[in-house]
Amino acid sequence: MSDLQGKTAIVTGGSRDIGRSCAVKLGAEGANVVVNYNANRDAADETVGAVEAAGGKAIAVKGDMTLKGDVDNLVAETVKAFGNDIHVLVNNVGGLVARKKLGEMDEAFLNHVMALNLNSTFLTTQAVVPHMPKGSSIINLASLAGRDGGGGGASAYSMSKGAVITFTRSMAKELGPQGIRCNALCPGMIDTTFHDTFTPDAARTNVENTVPLRRQGHPDDCADTVVYLASEKSAYITGANIDINGGMFFS
C-alpha cells in the first residue's frame, strides 16, 4: 500500500498537461485529489474522472489562485470534502502570458506575470500550510527558464520562476522544523499546450535533435517526480530544485 493512500493533495491548475498528470498519478497512489481550475470546467471534470479511474477520489474546485479569496475557498472546499489535514500541495498554476522584450513590457504586464507565477504560489502555500501535519510536502513548479533566463521575450516569466526557485528554498528552511518539506521542479521542454502556444515547431525539433535524451519531456516525467517528492521515499529531501530537461541544462 502506498504511503499516499488516503492522504489529501491539492493540485492547482490541475485540469490539463502537467497538472492533470500529477493529479492522476497521485490518485493512482490512493490520494484524495483536489483539482483546481480557473476557466475550463469540462477539462477539470475530465481530470477528476481520470483520477477516479486510477483509483483515487477527486473533486474539482474553481478558483483564480492570484486572488486570496479564491485561494481561501479552495482550502475550505478541500477541508469540507476530505477533512482538516492537507498532506500534499502541488503549486502548478503559472504561465508565460506572452513573449515581450524589455521595451515592449509595461508595469501592468510585469505585475500580471509575477502574480500568475509567484503570487499564486505564495498565496496558496500560505493558506495551506496551517492544515499541513508533520510529514507533509509542498512541490512547486518552477522552470528551466528560472535557471537560464529563458528564451526570447521571456524575461518576465524567467524572473517569476527564478523567484519560485528562491521561495522554495526559503520555505524549506522555514517549514522544515515543522516537518514540512518544500521542493520544486524545473522542467525544460515538456510536450504541453504551453509550448504549443509559445514555442515554434523548429525550436522544439531542435531540442529533440540536440538534448542528450533526444526527445521532449512528457507531463508524466514531471508527475512521477512529484509523486516521489510527495511520498515518504523522499523524506530527507527538501529545498531541492530538480531539473527535468533531458540533459538540456545542468545546474
pTM for the whole structure: 0.95
| CATH no. for 8-244 | 3.40.50.720
Q: How far apart are CA 91 and CA 154, in angstroms?
A: 20
On average, the pLDDT of the chain sits at: 95
Q: What are the catalytic residues?
A: 157
Q: What is the pLDDT of residue 230?
A: 98
What letters, b where the CB count within 10 A reaches 16 and e where it falls short, cover 48-74? Answer: bebbeebebbbbbbbbbbbeeebbeeb
Q: Which amino acid is at 125?
A: T
**Sign of the CA dihedral running 9, 10, 16, 17:** negative
- 3-state DSSP call for residue 138? strand
Q: CA-to-CA distance for 158 and 214, rounded, in angstroms? A: 24
Q: How far apart are CA 43 and CA 241, in angstroms?
A: 29
pLDDT in tens, the chain (251 residues): 789 999 999 999 999 999 999 999 999 999 999 999 999 999 999 999 999 999 999 999 999 999 999 999 999 999 999 999 999 999 999 999 999 999 999 999 999 999 999 999 999 999 999 999 999 999 999 999 999 999 999 999 999 999 999 999 999 999 999 999 999 999 998 887 766 666 777 877 888 888 999 888 899 999 999 999 999 999 999 999 999 999 988 86
